[in-house]
Amino acid sequence: MKEIKAVIQPARLAKIRSALRNIKGFPGMSVNKMEGCGPHLQKPSVGVREELTDYSPKVYLYMVVPDELVEGILQTIVEVAHTGNIGDGIVWVTPVERMIRLSEQIMVLD
């Protein structure tokens, strides 16, 4: 199993969600609103106030998926999120040692 995380433009969320739902076996995802900034070209020094507010709205997606779905999900996110503009986002994958889906667990009482 792998965890896929992505930071994307908010305007791309609906299209990504629709595209991912078309993947057979897609397990679902979690979404958070966030702000972020990336590397910028050298620019004249600005005040502290401007530096602290130099962020743009982003959406953070994360999901745990079976190994066989990783490439298809990655390809979908990249194709749908990519506009060619600065700030499109980033996607990364990390290994997951273990996952337990809480809704499928049976509680045993002594």
Q: Higher-confidence residue: 73 or 38?
A: 73
Its pTM stands at 0.82
Beta carbons within 10 angstroms of residue 26's beta carbon: 17
Among 5-9, 13-17, 100-104, the minimum mean pLDDT is found in 100-104
- Whether residue 20 contacts residue 74, with contact meaning beta carbons closer than 8 Å, is answered with no
Q: Higher-confidence residue: 8 or 52?
A: 8
pLDDT, tens digit (0-9, with 9 covering 90-100), for 70-89: 999 999 999 999 999 888 99
Q: What's residue 74's pLDDT?
A: 97
Contacting residues for 49 by C-beta, under 8 A, at least 6 apart:
none
Dihedral sign from CA coordinates of 37, 38, 44, 45: positive
Q: Higher-confidence residue: 21 or 85?
A: 21
Q: How far apart are CA 83 and CA 11, in angstroms?
A: 11
- Whether residue 59 contacts residue 102, with contact meaning beta carbons closer than 8 Å, is answered with no
